[in-house]
Amino acid sequence: MKFTLILFAFLSFSLFSQEKMSLYFDFNSSVLNDAQKNILDEFLKRDIFEIQKIVAYTDTFGTKRYNDKLALERLNHIKSFLKSTELANLQQEVKGEKYPSKATVSNYKSWRRVDLFYIVKQTLPIENKTPALLEEVIEVKTEDLPIIQKDTVSTQKFADLLEAESGKALSLDVQFYPGTDNKLPSSNKNLIEFYDFLAANPSVNVLIRGHVCCQRDYDLSVLRAKVVYDFLIKKGIDSKRLDYKGYSNSLPVAFPERTEEDMQKNRRVDVVILK
């Protein structure tokens, strides 16, 4: 009964905790470029998110009146992608150049953005090779997990791991769109490089680890790990050489998560070499 209550609380937190996604605009533009539009399209395609609030910003070039108008145009541009039902209870805020006091001109590019605040509307399915991992992640102790901050290496150093101690964590630079198990396009090259490494070294076994940012979401971390697992299996790597697990947000590489960039770094998959 105790475990059931803990699990219910955990799932409730995952369902209703608010996350943020930022979309960036070019200078003096109120229309997303193709790269940012693709990010938004992938996000909305999943149809499992409830957008609760939109906040629009600009940089400090131009007059305040002009920037308020530009921020409103950016907000309306994002709204044009949403369904009428999604707009009914939507909170909207036009901040223009009213940026947090920590901001400096050196990072003005990040001012040109619209923030979407959202929650996940439904529980993502759990798919994992290893049974009873929901209980494992709730009871897990951080000190029992591999430390990755100091031992992370780039994809260019795969070969060095053959001489390293087992249990060393390896960054794959495989990242995901917020709240989803959809890979960023930049991750594909890194996955292929890792497959080439495994294909050339058949004695190497790995544990694939999925991670999320911001809050506990075990289900999503498992799904992200499974994306890499499925890719390697499809390419011909023997499943006996692979295992995968989700670690929710228990092993951040960027902490505390102060910026969107910090959060994006934690939406990732890494691996541990097993010998």
Return the pLDDT at 239: 92
Return the pLDDT at 99: 67
Return the pLDDT at 150: 35
Copy the structure tokens of residue 240: 């006996």
Return the pLDDT at 274: 80
Contacts of 21 (CB under 8 A, 6+ apart): 43, 115, 116, 118, 178, 179, 260
d(CA 193, CA 209): 17
Cα torsion 18, 22, 23, 25 to 10°: value is 140
Return the pLDDT at 209: 93
- Respond yes or no on whether the N-terminal peptide bond of residue 178 is cis (omega within 30° of 0): no
* DSSP H/E element including 133: helix 133-139
Q: Give 10-residue mean pLDDT values along the chain (275 residues).
A: 40 52 87 85 76 89 90 94 85 83 58 84 44 36 38 50 62 86 86 89 90 86 92 94 90 83 90 81
Contacts of 151 (CB under 8 A, 6+ apart): 168, 169
- Pick from 120, 112, 117: nearest CA to 54: 117
* pTM of the full structure: 0.50
- Pick from 235, 230, 173: nearest CA to 198: 235
Return the pLDDT at 39: 78
Return the pLDDT at 268: 93
Identify the three-state secondary structure at position 117: strand
Return the pLDDT at 241: 93
